[in-house]
Structure 1
Amino acid sequence: MRVHYLQHVAFEGLGSIASWCNSAGWEVSCTKLFAGDNLPLPGGIDLLVVLGGPMSVNDEEEFPWLVAEKRFVGEVIASGKPVLGICLGAQLIANVLGARVYPNAEKEIGWFPVYGVSTQNTNVFPFPSSVEAFHWHGETFDLPAGAVQIARSEGCAHQAFQYGPSVIGLQFHLETTPESAMALVEHCRNELVEARYVQSEQRILAAESGCFLVIHRLMGDILSYLGQTAAV
């Protein structure tokens, strides 16, 4: 399995996805958009992972590489290959599919529960009834036409969706490790302004190891699911 990921800033990497792919024997490659790397040909990858970042999908003037990135994501989706979007990545997928991306009524930063949304569609990932996930986002998106909502939270209605058999967008971070959480705090500390769904630096970094084990297990389940769709 050839996994390729798109990275938007140096301090937001693959997190637990890297070790999971290594254990599965999957080959991993990367385009560092912030460094001016070229995008690969869609035919050379089996699974695309689009990571998070502090910019907005609407910031094309400030980050002109967003234009080429959106075109590339659209091409991979159209090819039928699996795509996983995380935070900004999910917003990019939604935007590529024609949905609006805009500021959410609430910022969500820290550890907050996400709830699975019941659906009669048996062809979507079986999201658990609830999971305490790590968040760091201030924007949200409308549900793309044809997509199925699979998760929500109290602070944000559209937390996760699936489009077709193999495209999944997650507003939250299941890949977070203690090290990546620390990196986000160090680089985005100015966003930790007291609010209903914004935790303090101390609370964010005090998460126990069990919190990470839970989200890493769920991320592994999603990667396995997408890997199976790629093999069909």
Structure 2
Amino acid sequence: MSFGSSKNGDNVLPFPGRRMVLTPEPAPLLPVLIVLHQETSTPGRVGNALRALGHPLDIRRPRFGDALPETLDRHAGAVIFGGPMSANDSDEYVRREIDWIEVPLREQRPFLGICLGAQMLAKQLGAQVAPHPEGRVEVGYYPIRPTEAGHALCPNWPERVYHWHGEGFQLPGGAELLAEGNDFPVQAFQHGHAFGLQFHPDVTYAMMHRWTTRGCVRMDSPGAHPRHLHFAVRAMHDVTERAWLKRFIDGWLARMPRSIMSEAAE
């Protein structure tokens, strides 16, 4: 059996007695802007979910000099991830990222803030970001309680999700609470097309190994879970969290208007 070659160089298999029709390739999807805060940081499971949907990743690190776009007309959405710094820090890039969040808010583009990114979104919306009054942290898996709005947005939330933070935030004015917790009451919220998650659905198994090895100082803080529990609880709740993240990302990207998606891809 021999293979023919198409005009664009792809191998095609002819079927005897049938007219061969080459279907055009679908238009490429817009990239998603990814904002990371360390040289070794990765978008983890969120990046995997976006790539699986066919979206390229436009990765930028403003901390190391990367510029942020003046508009998201050429992006399907934007995600700001976590990091060891605080949204209250005076570093220029921290202030610049918080100010930049006004772009997706103004243009009504899908925006997702994870941990530090959620705290930055909260500050952009006028809410306070602060440590726990008793110095407690969430490092490990902790229970969350989705609200009625959270259930309506995305069903089948995991009972426990992975955290790595020592600061929390108030619910911004005009935002809707999607999930709440104990030590840090605001765990997820929505403001138009923007979402903030205090927890880390992006963390892969490899990332958890790195964090629990290099972040041992944070693991000595009040409320933190010992390293072995991170992996023991992950074995019980990770499947649910991974399935929830896929549904959430699908619905989050669907907020990009189809007309804009098609116009920007031309």
The alignment's TM-score, normalised by the length of structure 2, stands at 0.79
Match of 1:144 in 2: 172
Q: Output the CA distance in 1 between the equivalents of 2:164 and 2:144.
A: 13
**Is the 1:13–1:51 contact (alpha carbons within 8 Å) kept by the matching residues of 2?**
no
Q: Output the CA distance in 2 between the equivalents of 1:36 and 1:186.
A: 28
Letter paired with 1:146: G
Q: Output the CA distance in 1 between the equivalents of 2:41 and 2:245.
A: 16
Q: Output the CA distance in 1 between the equivalents of 2:49 and 2:157.
A: 23
Match of 2:110 in 1: 82
- The reply on whether 1:192 has 2:222 as its aligned counterpart is no
Q: Output the CA distance in 1 between the equivalents of 2:184 and 2:103.
A: 28
Match of 2:54 in 1: 25
Match of 1:92 in 2: 120
- The reply on whether 1:181 has 2:208 as its aligned counterpart is yes
The one of 43, 50, 64 aligned to 1:35? 64
Structure 1 residue 35, shift from structure 2 partner: 2.0
Question: Alpha carbons of 1:49 and 1:194: their partners in 2 closer, same or farther (altered >3 Å)?
Answer: closer
SS class of match (2:228) = helix
Match of 1:211 in 2: 237
Q: Output the CA distance in 1 between the equivalents of 2:39 and 2:187.
A: 24
Letter paired with 1:99: A
Q: Output the CA distance in 2 between the equivalents of 1:194 and 1:76.
A: 35
Match of 2:99 in 1: 71
Structure 2: any 5+ residue segments left out of the alignment?
1-29, 259-266
Match of 1:101 in 2: 129
**Is the 1:116–1:128 contact (alpha carbons within 8 Å) kept by the matching residues of 2?**
no
Structure 1 residue 49, shift from structure 2 partner: 0.4
**Is the 2:189–2:195 contact (alpha carbons within 8 Å) kept by the matching residues of 1?**
yes
Range moving further from structure 2, 10-19 or 143-152 = 10-19
Match of 2:257 in 1: 231
The number of aligned residues is: 226
Which has the larger Rg? 2
Range moving further from structure 2, 82-91 or 32-41 = 32-41
Q: Output the CA distance in 1 between the equivalents of 2:237 and 2:47.
A: 18
Match of 2:35 in 1: 6
Letter paired with 1:169: G
Cα-to-partner distance string for 1:62-120 (whole Å, 9 max, x where unaligned): x211122112111121110010110000000000011111112431110111110124x
Q: Output the CA distance in 2 between the equivalents of 1:80 and 1:67.
A: 21
Question: Alpha carbons of 1:45 and 1:154: their partners in 2 closer, same or farther (altered >3 Å)?
Answer: same
**Is the 1:151–1:159 contact (alpha carbons within 8 Å) kept by the matching residues of 2?**
yes
**Is the 1:174–1:219 contact (alpha carbons within 8 Å) kept by the matching residues of 2?**
yes
Match of 1:46 in 2: 76
Structure 1 residue 194, shift from structure 2 partner: 5.5
User: Sequence identity of aligned pairs in percent?
Assistant: 26
Question: Alpha carbons of 1:146 and 1:174: their partners in 2 closer, same or farther (altered >3 Å)?
Answer: same
Match of 1:58 in 2: 88
**Is the 2:50–2:56 contact (alpha carbons within 8 Å) kept by the matching residues of 1?**
yes
**Is the 2:158–2:244 contact (alpha carbons within 8 Å) kept by the matching residues of 1?**
no
- The reply on whether 1:118 has 2:148 as its aligned counterpart is yes
Letter paired with 1:107: V
Q: Output the CA distance in 1 between the equivalents of 2:70 and 2:248.
A: 24
Q: Output the CA distance in 1 between the equivalents of 2:119 and 2:109.
A: 18
Tell me which protein shows more strand as a share of its residues. Answer: 1
**Is the 1:104–1:140 contact (alpha carbons within 8 Å) kept by the matching residues of 2?**
yes
Structure 1 residue 126, shift from structure 2 partner: 3.1
